[in-house]
A and B are shown apart, each in its own frame.
Chain A
Amino acid sequence: MSGPTAREAVLGRIRDALALAPPGRQPVPRAYRTGRTLPDDERLALFTGRLADYRAGVRVCTAAATAEAVAGALDAHGARRVGVPPGLDPAWLERFGGEVLVDSAAVSPRMLDGLDAVVTASAAACAETGTVLLDGSPDQGRRALSLVPDVHVLVVGLSTVAAGVPEALALLVPGRPTTLVSGPSATSDIELERVEGVHGPRVLEVVLRTDA
């Protein structure tokens, strides 16, 4: 095909458009709240309250009691076969009596679908919105792992819970495959009524470690 490529054509149209209607450049006012900090007890109360609003489960514990809290969350949902990312601290599953599958490239989506639950760590969290951020680090695993099983147990350290959205996003490393999770999967597509549990995990259990 002759003539300019689509790329040249579109960029040319953009330049023409901006020449015909020259932009009035104005600075971006970033006067919204950033750099907020809140004391531990306030972040804890805010974060757990917001998670409860999404009908996510919350278990608050110390780092030493992580294994107990994780086992409690898995047992509460009758999970017997549990997937974990390769970098997860094995000590976290010491109190769990079921079968643990360590994820790898050899594990197919269908095998993930056969799991009862998944346990992962997290990269950061946001108290104001009850959001947990996953970035694919070895203790969080690839995205499919925390998506396909029906129960997701998320271990969060209180020190990584930021006050608001700007503060939490600032903790991310851009370019990593990132997922922001705010409660279990949900839909409001039927009469705008929120229903928890569609394609993503229908159960979200957050284990919040107060001294980690």
Chain B
Amino acid sequence: MTRPSRPGAAAGSGDDPPERPLPGTPAPPPHAPPGTGRLRGDTPFPRAARAALGDHTLRDNLRRATGTIRARRLAATRELPDWERLRDAGAALKSEALDRLPELLPQLEAAFTGRGGTVHWARDAAEANAIVTRLVRETGSEEVVKVKSMATQEIGLNEHLARQGITAYETDLAELIVQLSGDRPSHILVPAIHRNREEIRGILRDGIPDADPRLGSDPAELAAAARAHLRERFLTVPVAVSGANFGIAETGTLCVVESEGNGRMCLTLPRTLITVMGIEKVVPLHRDLEVFLQLLPRSATGERMNPYTSLWTGVTPGDGPQEVHLVLLDNGRTAALADPLGRGALGCIRCSACLNVCPVYERVGGHAYGSTYPGPIGAVLSPYLAGMHATGDDPNRTLPYASTLCGACLDACPVRIDLPAMLVDLRRRHTEEAGRTPEALAMRTAGAVMRRPRLYTAAQRTAARLARAAARREGRITRLPPPLAGWTEARDAPVPARDAFRSWFASPEGAAAMRAAAREGERRRAAHEGPGGGAPADGHDRREEER
């Protein structure tokens, strides 16, 4: 099989040379343009991670939170005997929806419009922001209430509205905490996961007008403070902006999954509702909810079902907003779609299970990834949507390396997104595009040396001596000189042993150790002889029986 390298390579380069294709030939769709929205940070991941790793409060908060949510997710998914089959269905449904976008999106549009809604299309963040701004202006309101939404974070809507003199109130508790503290979200589901209750108490006490100065740090008390603060806004602000978890092509129905009821408030009380939805959120049938409403809550918060799920279809006379808009957003999604591997990332249902199981995310938190989308999914989605080469030192090119490739994310993903394969492919692409690098030269040299055993042994001895000299007292190598600096930029290396294994193996000491091991093996075999031998280790407890 040949790799379809042309579209892949084209989709991977960020600056999108406007290569004019021959008439009738498909053009690679552009990435999300740089400059607007938040699909890249301004610091390379290794440098941002180093700063995060030094923050002990952050690490404590993250360790506690991700540990809790991991246990809860496992309990909730184990409870369903058909969990693996639901994942199969979810993965296939997402893939089918992407394949059928040219028919499903117009179908969604027609159904939504047929029920009194208005559909808008946005090529990128700037266009989506302009559409929302115009729609808000037309209502005469200078305020909007917001349901937590990744799409509007991605396009930087709040900041844009602020520049246009429109105040956006985040109403999700964690988003409120982030907004009041001038912070950035660090988790897809729990944007303030990096804050503990004491920090949150301070933020709410200082940020909410007329807050009780004796506000305690009990979560129930903090939630009550948010309730009191936002109630008046829900009752008076005439425009709401939301995202959508799913858009059903068959019926034109939009779906928001939430917990607090702030979503219901925004979707129900204002006169005007504006929903910004990525084009990949469309699903074919109303029936498909039966899969995703099982996969999403159990993967996200580890609940059997989230407290509230809202479904609305255009305008319902006498119930809810009487003016409803849907903004369908591309912003690099078609660039990802053009990548045979990367398109899989568009199947993401934003549950954040991959963040919670990721050993890298658990230690550095979400801010280090720069983009709106952190963790393993962010490490692939940000490059696929926005490219890796928008600037000479685009931080997005460091994201595919923000992983140990342990594969926990693939195990956890409810729609089986092959994140490790994407990370590896993005690394390959980055390396190929980087061309001649000191690393490539070093690898070629190493290959040549390894082909000559005598030379190899000599080189090894020399390298070990040099490395031991470079080691610090605590027995780690934390910084190597160029051209090896890249290796230690993101990791400490252990100090090489005094003896190479091969020379130890050839020594009398090595020979004695091998003889002892052989005797030990004999003894164990004898002891286990007979009853079935060792039971096979069964690491997988999947495929439980039907209830």
Listed in ascending order, the chain A residues whose CB lies under 8 Å from chain B are: 5-7, 9-11, 13-21, 23, 25-34, 50, 53-54, 105, 109-110, 113, 126, 128-131, 136, 142-144, 147-148, 165-166, 169-170, 172, 174-193, 195, 197-201
Q: Are B264 and A200 in contact (CB under 8 A)?
A: yes
Flag whether B251 is at the interface (Cβ < 8 A): yes
A21-B340 contact in complex given A14-B102, A189-B192, A200-B260, C-beta closer than 8 Å: yes
Q: Are A147 and B328 in contact (CB under 8 A)?
A: no
- Residues of B in contact with A, size category: 35 or more
| Cα–Cα distance between A33 and B319 once the two chains are bound (Å) | 34
| Cα–Cα distance between A156 and B252 once the two chains are bound (Å) | 28
Q: Which residues of B contact A166 (CB under 8 A)?
A: 290
Q: Which residues of B contact A34 (CB under 8 A)?
A: 290
Q: Are A179 and B310 in contact (CB under 8 A)?
A: yes
- Could you list 11 further interchain pairs (A-B, Cβ under 8 angstroms) beyond the known A14-B334, A21-B338, A143-B264? A15-B26, A20-B28, A26-B95, A28-B89, A28-B92, A131-B305, A176-B313, A187-B173, A189-B173, A191-B196, A198-B173
| Cα–Cα distance between A166 and B287 once the two chains are bound (Å) | 8
A177-B89 contact in complex given A10-B334, A25-B99, A165-B293, C-beta closer than 8 Å: no
Q: Are B92 and A26 in contact (CB under 8 A)?
A: yes
| Cα–Cα distance between A144 and B320 once the two chains are bound (Å) | 7
Flag whether B152 is at the interface (Cβ < 8 A): no
| Cα–Cα distance between A148 and B86 once the two chains are bound (Å) | 35
Which one of B42-50, B119-127, B422-430 contacts A? B119-127
Q: Which residues of B contact A32 (CB under 8 A)?
A: 82, 85-86, 89, 291, 294
Q: Are A10 and B121 in contact (CB under 8 A)?
A: yes
Q: Are A31 and B85 in contact (CB under 8 A)?
A: yes
| Cα–Cα distance between A98 and B232 once the two chains are bound (Å) | 26
Q: Are B89 and A30 in contact (CB under 8 A)?
A: yes
Q: Are A27 and B260 in contact (CB under 8 A)?
A: no
Q: Which residues of B contact A169 (CB under 8 A)?
A: 286-287, 289-290, 293
| Cα–Cα distance between A142 and B89 once the two chains are bound (Å) | 34
Q: Which residues of B contact A23 (CB under 8 A)?
A: 95, 98-99
Q: Are A165 and B251 in contact (CB under 8 A)?
A: no
| Cα–Cα distance between A29 and B416 once the two chains are bound (Å) | 14
Q: Which of B93, B231, B289 contacts A28 (CB 8 A)?
A: B93
Q: Which residues of A contact B320 (CB under 8 A)?
A: 142-144, 177
Q: Are A20 and B7 in contact (CB under 8 A)?
A: yes
28 A/B residue pairs, CB under 8 Å, sorted by A: A6-B121, A10-B122, A10-B328, A11-B105, A14-B29, A26-B95, A33-B546, A34-B290, A109-B269, A143-B310, A165-B294, A169-B293, A175-B251, A175-B253, A176-B316, A180-B293, A182-B306, A186-B259, A187-B173, A187-B260, A188-B190, A189-B172, A189-B173, A195-B219, A197-B220, A197-B223, A198-B261, A200-B261
Q: Which of A11, A13, A188, A193 contacts B259 (CB 8 A)?
A: A188
Q: SS class of chain A's interface: helix, strand, loop or mixed? A: loop
Q: How far is the CB of A181 from the nearest CB of chain B, in Å?
A: 6
Q: Are B96 and A25 in contact (CB under 8 A)?
A: yes
Q: Which residues of A contact B307 (CB under 8 A)?
A: 54, 181-186, 200
Q: Are A147 and B264 in contact (CB under 8 A)?
A: yes
Q: How far is the CB of A49 from the nearest CB of chain B, in Å?
A: 11
Q: Are A17 and B223 in contact (CB under 8 A)?
A: no
Q: Are A136 and B319 in contact (CB under 8 A)?
A: yes
Flag whether B115 is at the interface (Cβ < 8 A): yes
Flag whether B304 is at the interface (Cβ < 8 A): yes
Residue of B nearest to A25 (CB): B99
Q: Which residues of B contact A174 (CB under 8 A)?
A: 248, 250-251, 253, 286, 313
Q: Are A6 and B123 in contact (CB under 8 A)?
A: yes
Q: Are B190 and A18 in contact (CB under 8 A)?
A: no
| Cα–Cα distance between A154 and B6 once the two chains are bound (Å) | 58
Q: Which residues of A contact B351 (CB under 8 A)?
A: none
Q: Which of A14, A25, A130, A165 contacts B337 (CB 8 A)?
A: A14
| Cα–Cα distance between A37 and B495 once the two chains are bound (Å) | 63
Q: How far is the CB of A113 from the nearest CB of chain B, in Å?
A: 6
Residues 310-325 of B, flagged 1 when their CB comes within 8 A of A and 0 if not, give 1111001011100000
Q: Which residues of B contact A176 (CB under 8 A)?
A: 313, 316
Residue of A nearest to B310 (CB): A179
Q: Are A147 and B82 in contact (CB under 8 A)?
A: no
| Cα–Cα distance between A5 and B119 once the two chains are bound (Å) | 13
List B residues 219-277 near A (Cβ within 8 Å). Answer: 219-220, 222-224, 226-227, 230-231, 234-235, 248, 250-253, 259-262, 264-265, 267-269
Flag whether B160 is at the interface (Cβ < 8 A): no
Flag whether B129 is at the interface (Cβ < 8 A): no
Q: Which residues of B contact A7 (CB under 8 A)?
A: 121
Q: Which residues of A contact B115 (CB under 8 A)?
A: 175
Q: Are B305 and A17 in contact (CB under 8 A)?
A: no
Q: Are A191 and B121 in contact (CB under 8 A)?
A: no
Q: Which residues of A contact B197 (CB under 8 A)?
A: 190-191
| Cα–Cα distance between A201 and B269 once the two chains are bound (Å) | 15
Q: Which residues of A contact B305 (CB under 8 A)?
A: 126, 129-131, 165, 180, 182
Q: Are B102 and A18 in contact (CB under 8 A)?
A: yes
Flag whether B153 is at the interface (Cβ < 8 A): no
Q: How far is the CB of A158 from the nearest CB of chain B, in Å?
A: 19
Closest 9 CB pairs of A and B: A200-B261, A23-B99, A16-B26, A20-B7, A199-B261, A17-B338, A13-B334, A198-B260, A17-B337
Q: Which of B4, B223, B339 contacts A195 (CB 8 A)?
A: B223
Q: How far is the CB of A21 from the nearest CB of chain B, in Å?
A: 4
A189-B99 contact in complex given A5-B121, A182-B307, C-beta closer than 8 Å: no
Q: Are A192 and B173 in contact (CB under 8 A)?
A: no
Q: Are A11 and B102 in contact (CB under 8 A)?
A: yes
Flag whether B52 is at the interface (Cβ < 8 A): no
Q: How far is the CB of B411 from the nearest CB of chain A, in Å?
A: 19
| Cα–Cα distance between A189 and B148 once the two chains are bound (Å) | 12
Q: Are B92 and A190 in contact (CB under 8 A)?
A: no
Q: Which residues of A contact B294 (CB under 8 A)?
A: 32, 165
| Cα–Cα distance between A199 and B232 once the two chains are bound (Å) | 11
Flag whether B301 is at the interface (Cβ < 8 A): yes
A175-B69 contact in complex given A19-B26, A29-B88, A200-B308, C-beta closer than 8 Å: no
| Cα–Cα distance between A186 and B224 once the two chains are bound (Å) | 11
Flag whether B412 is at the interface (Cβ < 8 A): no
Flag whether B377 is at the interface (Cβ < 8 A): no
